[in-house]
Amino acid sequence: MTQPEIPHLFRPIDLRDMRLPNRIVVSPLCQFSAVDGTAQPWHWMHLGGLAVSGASLVIMEATGVSDIGRITAGCLGLYSDANEAALTKLLADTRTFCDTKIGIQLCHAGRKASTRRTWELARGNVLPPEEGGWQVEGPSAQPYADGWPMPVALDEAGLARVLDQFVASTRRAHRCGFDMIEIHAAHGYLLHEFLSPLTNLRTDRHGGSAEARMQFPLAVARAMRQAWPEHKPMGMRITGQDWNEGGITLDDAVMLAQALREIGIDYVTPSAGNIAPGMKLPPVGPGYMVEFAERIRHDCGITTMAVGMIITPAQAEALIAEGRADIACIGRGFLDDPRWGWHAAAALGAQGFVPPQYARATPKHWPAYPLVHGVRLRDGEGIMGHATRE
C-alpha cells in the first residue's frame, strides 16, 4: 500500500540549524501582562498552551529592548537582569514538557511607545505622564497624531545607544535560551519609522532616499546578527505596504528583503500598515497579505512567512503547496483555538505533536473527534486509526 503524501504544511524546513518539523508558526502576540518588562504567571500559561498547540515555533511577543521602547507599560522587556531571569525560567520550564522551538520578537516602539493596553483604549491611546507615561523617541520630531506625545528625534549618540540596546537584548535572548530572534520593523514602531518616508523626515545620512532610510534598520540587524550565534536564525517582520499615500510600497519591501538577505537575515514576515493615521485598507479577508510574501519570496529567494487571516488548514496548506510562502504564521487563529496545529494535522492527514497527557483527545483514541472537528477517518481505522484528508 502506498503511503499518503506528507502535506506541504507538515514538511520540515530548516532555518540555519533550527529544524522546524512543520511550517506552522505562532505569530508574536502582545499580552500586555508583564510588570516592569518581566514575565508573569500569565506568560507561563500563554506560552505553555501554545507550545503544545502543534505549531513548530512560537514567537513570543514584541519585547522592548529598553523600558522606553516598550509599546505599553505591560509589554515584556529584555533590558534588565530581572527580565532575563524570568524568561530564562519560562523557557526552561516549557522545555521540560516539549521541544517546540521558541523565539522572541525584539522591538523598540519609537514614537508609538507609552500607550495604553488594548483593553484600556477606551480611556485614550496615550498613557499620560500622571499614569506612568514616558518621553518617547523616534527618527523625527513628529508625533503619531494629534494628542500623541512629541518624540525626541534621535541624534547620532541616541542612535548608537538604541543600536547597543538591540545588541544587549540579543545577547540576553541567547542567554535565556531562545532558538531564534525576530526583529520588529513593522506596525509603525521605531525601525519602521526609519524606513517609511512618512515618518522619517531626516535630512542627515539616515533620511531621504530609500537606501538612506534603510541604513539604521540594516545597521541594527547587522549588529544583532553579529552578536547572535551563527547557528541560530534571525528574521525580521517588515512592512509590505504602508497603505498610506506616499508610504512604503511593495517594491521598497522587496529592496529591504534583498538587503536583509545579503547581511544574513534568514527570513522575513511581511505585514502592513499602522505607520500613520489615514490608512486606506484594502479589503481585509483570508490571506489578505499573502501577496506580499509571494512577491518577496519570488523576487528575493529569502524564506518568507505569510501572515494575516490564515484561518483554515486547507488555506495554509494551499499557500505552501503553491509556493506563495514557506511558512504559515498564525496569530488570532491560535488565540481562538490553541490546538490549531493538532486540528490541522488531523484535517490534512498528518502527524503532529500532541503531549501524551492530552493524547486521549485525538482521533486515535477519542470516537467523538470526527464529530467535534468535522474530520473524516479512513474506513476501517475506527478509533485506533488516524484522521485523513478527504
Ligand X SMILES: Cc1cc2nc3c(=O)[nH]c(=O)nc-3n(C[C@H](O)[C@H](O)[C@H](O)COP(=O)(O)O)c2cc1C
The catalytic residues are: 189
Interactions with ligand X, residue window 88-147 (CB under 6 A):
105
To the nearest whole angstrom, how small is the minimum distance from the Cβ of residue 29 to ligand X?
4
Q: Give the Cα separation of 169 and 78 in Å (integer).
A: 6
- Binds ligand X (CB under 6 A): choice among 20, 22, 25, 27: 27
| CA–CA dist 227, 248 (Å, integer) | 29
Residue placing its CB nearer to ligand X in the complex, 184 or 206: 184
Least Cβ distance, residue 310 to ligand X (angstroms): 6
Burial class (CB in 10 A: 0-12, 13-18, 19+), 357: exposed
Taking the least distance from each CB to ligand X, the nearer of 176 and 236 is: 236
Q: Is 224 or 377 the residue whose CB approaches ligand X more closely?
A: 224
Beta bridge partners of 180: 103
DSSP reduced 3-state for 130: helix
Does residue 30 touch ligand X according to CB under 6 A? Answer: yes
Report in angstroms how near the CB of residue 367 gets to ligand X at its nearest: 31
When binding is defined by CB under 6 A, the residue of 101, 225, 237, 295 that contacts ligand X is 237
Query: What would the x/- binding string for ligand X be over residues 142 to 181, using CB under 6 A?
Result: ----------------------------------------
**CB of 60 within 8 A of CB of 91?**
no
Give whole-number Cα distances, 363 to 2, 50, 219, 221, 380, in Å: 22, 20, 50, 44, 13
Taking the complex as a whole, how short is the minimal distance between the CB of residue 189 and ligand X, in angstroms? 9
Q: Which stretch binds ligand X (CB under 6 A): 136-144, 224-232, 290-298, 308-316?
A: 308-316
Residue 308 touches ligand X, criterion: CB under 6 A: yes
Q: Give which of 280, 282, 343 is closest to 311, Cα–Cα.
A: 343
Which amino acid is located at 228 in the chain? Answer: W
Residue with smallest beta-carbon separation from ligand X: 331
Are residues 375 and 363 in contact, defined by beta-carbon separation less than 8 angstroms?
yes
Sign of CA dihedral 336, 340, 342, 345: positive
Applying CB under 6 A, what is the total number of residues that bind ligand X? 19
User: Is residue 69 involved in binding ligand X (CB under 6 A)?
Assistant: no
Q: Which of 271, 274, 303, 388 binds ligand X (CB under 6 A)?
A: 271
The interface region with ligand X, picked from 23-31, 339-347, 349-357, 369-377 by CB under 6 A, is 23-31
Q: How far is CA 159 from CA 62, 104, 137, 166, 185, in A?
A: 20, 22, 10, 11, 15
Residue 204 CA to chain centroid, in angstroms? 31
Positions that interact with ligand X (CB under 6 A): 27-30, 61-62, 105, 184, 187, 237, 271, 307-310, 330-333
